């Protein structure tokens, strides 16, 4: 049966080649959209690793005061904020959450490259952001005057460097030269759970937190202040907050944004392009469906003599129905096979990057099922028309 169907397809190879080509390009577009949708949805279900509710971000644009004066001004800003009744705690950070940028680095560890995100934060950062410790501790006064630079890493980084071993109290080789330009050691004091800095749709990544200190040669000023507010505080508090900040730093500029607003903006960065891509893919599927239905309809009309003769020789309507759908199934398979030969090169050449093999396979199977379902729906009506061809209709042709 299959051999016969292939022969029939070959006899109309030009028309069937165009159908297969249409299926091929539709599969590629659909596969890309599904990969992105599955990838981002898979990331979305993972925990963020921090709490953004009732937390506001204050961006600081400083003037060109000498560094010592800036240090004192930042210290006064933190003290002033802590005195406000609406604020529970104040922290500082080099890079705010829900930001697709940031600072990254790579060092050689155990003979292989280790790629990571780094951030400088204050001792209060973990409490303000609700960071969950799973081993060791966060930065504290205990680290004052330490001969080694304390760092906190996340679970993913700990597993990448030390495997199943406890990393607390151990040094990370190579970070002193990379980060500070000297041989100073970097020692792990704690491990946190996964921390997805870029937001809900971001892939978990290796993160290393360095302690931000104001009172030594290691001091570094925060680019952002984070404030944990009491429940029920609204945006009306912003005017009072900015006014208090300007009382201390008149020439500085402050941008206040609740983290939930930054989260929404971060999500739109992903959802808007993905939605546009989905609409393009949906429009393409509709055009493919209309074109495929039209081609099959025309195909059945042109084959009235052939189908009539088959009916005259005893072929049932059910067999005619299966023949048309079988031909469409084989042509669709040819188009998908060509698409598979192309997309299978992606994991073989290690081009999928952060996309896991699981996401890749789920997307591949999903795209194939949708294409087959689309072909089936497009072939139902033309196949039904083919069953309506009467044996006598063949007599109308020479």
- pLDDT tens-digit profile, the chain (398 residues): 555 555 555 556 666 677 778 888 888 888 888 888 899 998 998 889 999 999 999 999 876 655 667 888 888 999 999 999 999 999 999 999 998 777 777 777 766 777 888 899 999 999 999 999 999 999 998 888 777 889 999 999 998 888 888 999 888 776 655 555 555 668 899 999 989 988 899 888 899 999 987 755 556 788 999 999 999 999 899 999 999 999 998 889 999 999 999 999 999 988 998 888 888 888 888 887 777 777 676 666 666 556 565 656 666 667 766 777 777 787 788 888 888 888 887 765 555 666 777 888 888 899 999 888 888 887 776 766 666 666 655 555 54
Bridge-based pairing state of the strands 87-93 and 224-229: antiparallel
Q: Which residues of 180-206 are buried (b: 16+ CB within 10 A; e: fewer)?
A: eeeeeebbbbbbbbbbbbbbbbbbbbb
> What is residue 122's predicted lDDT score, i.e. its pLDDT?
93
> What is residue 162's predicted lDDT score, i.e. its pLDDT?
86
| DSSP assigned state of 249 | -
> What is residue 229's predicted lDDT score, i.e. its pLDDT?
95
Alpha-carbon distance 394 to 326, whole Å? 22
Place of tokens 């001969």: 147
> What is residue 262's predicted lDDT score, i.e. its pLDDT?
93
> What is residue 125's predicted lDDT score, i.e. its pLDDT?
94
Asked whether the beta carbons of 204 and 42 are under 8 A apart, the reply is no
> What is residue 216's predicted lDDT score, i.e. its pLDDT?
54
Alpha-carbon distance 233 to 88, whole Å? 11
> What is residue 50's predicted lDDT score, i.e. its pLDDT?
93
> What is residue 174's predicted lDDT score, i.e. its pLDDT?
65
> What is residue 148's predicted lDDT score, i.e. its pLDDT?
80
Give the CA-trace dihedral at 210, 211, 216, 221, to 10 degrees: 90
Alpha-carbon distance 382 to 210, whole Å? 67
**Residue 291 Cα to chain centre, angstroms:** 33
- DSSP element (H, E) containing 250: none
User: Residues 6 or more apart from 224 whose CB is under 8 A from it?
Assistant: 57, 58, 59, 60, 92, 93, 94, 95, 96
> What is residue 250's predicted lDDT score, i.e. its pLDDT?
86
């Amino acid at each position: 049966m299959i051999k016969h169907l292939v022969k029939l397809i070959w006899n109309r190879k030009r028309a069937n080649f165009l159908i297969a080509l249409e299926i091929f390009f539709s599969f590629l577009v659909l596969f890309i959209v599904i990969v992105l949708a599955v990838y981002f949805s898979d990331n979305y279900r993972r925990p963020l690793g921090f709490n953004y509710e009732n937390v506001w971000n204050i961006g600081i644009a400083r003037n060109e005061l000498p560094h010592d004066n800036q240090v004192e001004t930042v210290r006064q800003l933190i003290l002033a904020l802590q005195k406000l009744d609406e604020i529970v705690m104040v922290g500082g950070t080099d890079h705010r959450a829900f930001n697709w940028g940031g600072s990254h680095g790579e060092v050689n560890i155990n003979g292989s490259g280790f790629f990571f995100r780094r951030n400088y934060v204050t001792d209060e950062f973990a409490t303000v952001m609700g960071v969950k410790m799973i081993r060791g501790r966060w930065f504290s006064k205990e680290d004052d005057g330490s001969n080694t630079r304390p760092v906190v890493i996340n679970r993913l980084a700990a597993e990448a460097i030390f495997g199943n071993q406890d990393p607390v109290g151990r040094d990370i080789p190579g970070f002193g030269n990379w980060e500070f330009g000297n041989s100073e050691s970097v020692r792990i004091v704690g491990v946190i759970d996964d921390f997805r800095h870029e937001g809900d749709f971001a892939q978990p990544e290796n993160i290393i937190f360095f302690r931000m200190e104001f009172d030594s040669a290691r001091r570094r000023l925060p680019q952002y202040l984070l404030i944990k507010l009491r429940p029920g505080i609204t945006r009306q508090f912003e005017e009072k907050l900015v006014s208090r900040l300007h009382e201390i730093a008149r020439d500085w500029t402050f941008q206040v944004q609740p983290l939930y607003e930054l989260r929404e903006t971060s999500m739109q960065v992903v959802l808007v392009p993905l939605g546009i891509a989905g609409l393009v893919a949906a429009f393409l599927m509709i055009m493919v469906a209309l074109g495929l239905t039209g081609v099959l309809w025309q195909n059945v009309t042109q084959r009235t003599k052939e189908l009539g003769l088959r009916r005259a020789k005893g072929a049932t309507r059910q067999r005619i129905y299966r023949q048309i759908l079988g031909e469409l199934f084989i042509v669709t398979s040819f188009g998908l096979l060509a698409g598979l030969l192309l997309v299978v090169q992606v994991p073989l050449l290690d081009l999928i990057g952060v996309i896991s093999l699981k996401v890749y396979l789920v997307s591949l199977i999903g795209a194939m099922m949708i294409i087959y379902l689309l072909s089936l729906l497009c072939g139902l009506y033309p196949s039904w028309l083919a069953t309506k061809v009467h044996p006598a209709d063949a007599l109308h042709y020479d």
